[in-house]
Structure 1
Amino acid sequence: MAAYTIDRDPSEGSPRLGAMTFHPGPESVSRARRWFRKFIAPYDPACSVEDCVLMISELVTNAIRYGQADEPWLVRVEWFRDGTSLRVEVHNPGLPANVRLRRPDATDAHGRGLLLVDSIADSWHAGPSRFGGTAVSFLMADVWPS
């Protein structure tokens, strides 16, 4: 069984609402979906939680598939209140330069993850992670009142 953790930032006024870390295994995708649903619910976001869960699922899958490190590593998922928006970040030890939006053919079995994120989220970004490696994030706007 893969090890995992969940934490919330106890600091009053912190924009981080929660975080999860997982070993890079296929069971981590379903855990990320399940736990995000559970831990975002008390914040009552005015966006589709299921859309967020779909995007998290795609980004965690990509993190597991493309993350690379010589030593054992973890996938980290964090979510933040960013003004009236919800920002979700997925971190892995892969190279930021390898993240790219693809336009797969109908017969391609893979390559639609970022395309889904691009079509659902208000915006998304990929770049260096503050933990080392890559962070891919998405933003859902107007989730909470100002």
Structure 2
Amino acid sequence: MIVPHLLTAPTPTARLVGGMLLPPVPEAAGRARWELAMLLKELRSWYDPSDCLLMLSELVSNAVKHANFDGFWVIHVACWCDGDMFRVEVYNPGTGKPAVQSPGPDDTNGRGLLLVEASSHSWGTASTSEGTMVWFSVRLPEDS
């Protein structure tokens, strides 16, 4: 895993446990899922990472679709542990503020952040000097 640089820990006790740099292409979501699955296997080999993989896939896909940035750029992903909390941050150079949508029953888009909201312990967005960061956190259960 490549660890992005110039990051600020979300809490004073959080430790950076992994990260990645991804090209802004649709296939990046699959690569991100694979990388995160490998990291979570190292951290908690018995943990089912399905929700984390889905949420990361949504955030990376949103970055690819909505960043609207001309020129060369990459998606930065940072992963943090703080006790039993695991946090994933996705950075892109876009300046938009992601928000939960209210899609209709026939809409084919607009459910990604609803999934993140429903599946995470907490989530949020922040503007950074480099663009936008969207994050989610989950509680990792202790060893079984």
Range class of TM-score, shorter chain = 0.7 to 0.9
Partner of 2:2: 7
Deviations 1:85-119 (A, max 9, x none): 0000011111143x111111111010000000000
3-state SS in 2 of match to 1:91: strand
Paired with 1:138 and 1:121, the residues of 2 have a C-alpha distance of: 6
Partner of 2:56: 56
| TM superposition score normalised by structure 2 | 0.84
Q: Is 2:76–2:92's contact at 8 Å kept on the other side of the alignment? A: yes
One-letter amino acid matched to 2:131: G
One-letter amino acid matched to 2:137: L
Paired with 1:81 and 1:144, the residues of 2 have a C-alpha distance of: 13
Counterparts of 1:68-79 in structure 2, within 5 Å, are 68-79=68-79
Q: Is 1:45–1:144's contact at 8 Å kept on the other side of the alignment? A: no
Paired with 2:77 and 2:134, the residues of 1 have a C-alpha distance of: 10
> Do residues 36 (structure 1) and 32 (structure 2) align?
no
Partner of 1:3: none
Partner of 2:115: 116
What value does the CA root-mean-square deviation take over the aligned residues? 2.2
Q: CA deviation at 1:76?
A: 1.1
Q: Is 1:84–1:143's contact at 8 Å kept on the other side of the alignment? A: yes
One-letter amino acid matched to 1:70: D
The 1:81/1:117 distance shift into structure 2, 3 A limit, reads: same
3-state SS in 2 of match to 1:69: coil
Number of equivalences = 135
Partner of 2:87: 87
Deviations 1:99-146 (A, max 9, x none): 11111111101000000000000110101135x10000001125458x
One-letter amino acid matched to 1:94: G
One-letter amino acid matched to 2:107: D
One-letter amino acid matched to 1:7: I
Q: Which runs of 5+ in 2 are unaligned?
A: 5-12
Paired with 2:94 and 2:124, the residues of 1 have a C-alpha distance of: 15
Paired with 1:84 and 1:138, the residues of 2 have a C-alpha distance of: 14
> Do residues 125 (structure 1) and 124 (structure 2) align?
yes
Q: CA deviation at 1:39?
A: 2.0
Q: CA deviation at 1:25?
A: 0.4
Percent of matched pairs sharing the same residue: 33
